[in-house]
Amino acid sequence: MSHDGGTPSRDRESSQGPGHEDTRAADRALDALLAAAHRRVGVAVHDRIMGQGGPPELRDPDLALDRMLATTYRQTELAVTTRLDRESEAAGEPRAAQGPQAPADHALLRRPAAVRLKYRLEALRIAHSFGPVGLLDSLRAALREARCLAELLEADTAPAGAHESVRRLDARLAQVRLPPTPRRRASPVIGRSYLAAVEDFLAPGAEQLVRAVREVRLLLDEELAPCLTDGPEERDGPDEGDRAGEHAAVPGYPLGADVVAQDLVDDLADAHDQAVTLCRAISDVERACTDFVGADLRGARLDGVQLEGIKWDAATVWPSEWEPLIRRASLPVGGERGVLVVAAEPYDSVVSADA
């Protein structure tokens, strides 16, 4: 430090040392944790409000408090994101774009049971729209046809057989029904709605599947089909090379057609794997809509809610006025000890959840 109490800029920079970098890293980690906590608090507040039947009618003091909390929420988000952007720019590392990410495994099951129950039919409709009927079967059929085509080209058989195989493959691909383009909903003021979380859970798998099938179609239409069309036609009779015993050296297809066909097989196999992954995600949504084993539903409003197909057990807590009716309408689930499923109609005898 100089005698006049000032510190030259170079001295200040050198005095920061390695410890300053550690402090900045710790600050960034803390900011990330605060941002994550901020998002989770928003989700919890939103779910609790919606699980209790929606926002209550606000009186004047409530309205003032609500506006203050909403303003604090927005300002906190702005402060955290601004600081992260500023420090990233100062470090010369542009911050990666942060889009909506699919929840982690079982993330939907961790949402409040009352919210999952309230929106179960809407969530099931969304899930089933992402999984068209026959999706896996049509992709398996197309994959089998692509493998047959690759074998024909590798064996160098008559071109007519490969042309027919291409037509069959084209017909198989035309039967593949793809999921719809996911909708990108605007983020709510507080938290993320449950239905938006369901779509975000399914969207990545659907987008990857659509992209994979489009790449297969592009490869077939723009590379493989023209390659076979431009190839030599079947010959009517033997030529000089055939008479000399050189027929094996004369290819029936353009060079590299078998390689393109194998690429097509690999791309279709990847599309099939993407479809399997999407179907598993749809199953996770279905489980979140039906699995209420051990759930606390005392505060849930069951009027008008479709309960058929819901699984529960002795640890599930129902509203007192609904429990007798639900017990009469339930049957044991085969292979799951102590688990019951709500049937369509009530039964005369009451089934114990401990059975």
Asked if 208 and 274 touch (Cβ cutoff 8 Å), the reply is: yes
Residue 282, pLDDT above cutoff 90? yes
Q: What is the pLDDT of residue 89?
A: 56
More confident residue, 199 or 56: 199
Q: What is the pLDDT of residue 90?
A: 62
Give pLDDT tens digits for 322-346: 989 999 999 988 878 889 999 875 5
Helices (H), the chain: 9-51, 60-90, 113-118, 120-129, 135-155, 159-174, 194-219, 225-229, 240-243, 257-290, 323-328
Give pLDDT tens digits for 134-185: 888 999 999 999 888 888 887 766 666 788 888 898 899 998 888 877 665 5
Q: How far apart are CA 327 and CA 14, in angstroms?
A: 74
The model's confidence at residue 67, banded by pLDDT at 50, 70 and 90, is low
Return the percentage of the chain with pLDDT > 70, whole number. Answer: 65
Q: What is the pLDDT of residue 340?
A: 92
Asked if 100 and 248 touch (Cβ cutoff 8 Å), the reply is: no
Q: What are phi and psi of 342, to 5 degrees?
A: -75, 125
Q: How far apart are CA 275 and CA 281, in angstroms?
A: 10
The amino acid that residue 61 corresponds to is: P
Structure tokens at 324: 């007798």
More confident residue, 66 or 340: 340
Which of 217-221, 238-242, 289-293 is predicted least confidently?
A: 238-242
Q: How far apart are CA 251 and CA 155, in angstroms?
A: 10
As a whole number, the mean pLDDT across the chain is: 75
Asked if 228 and 161 touch (Cβ cutoff 8 Å), the reply is: no
Report, as an integer, the average pLDDT of 264-280: 92
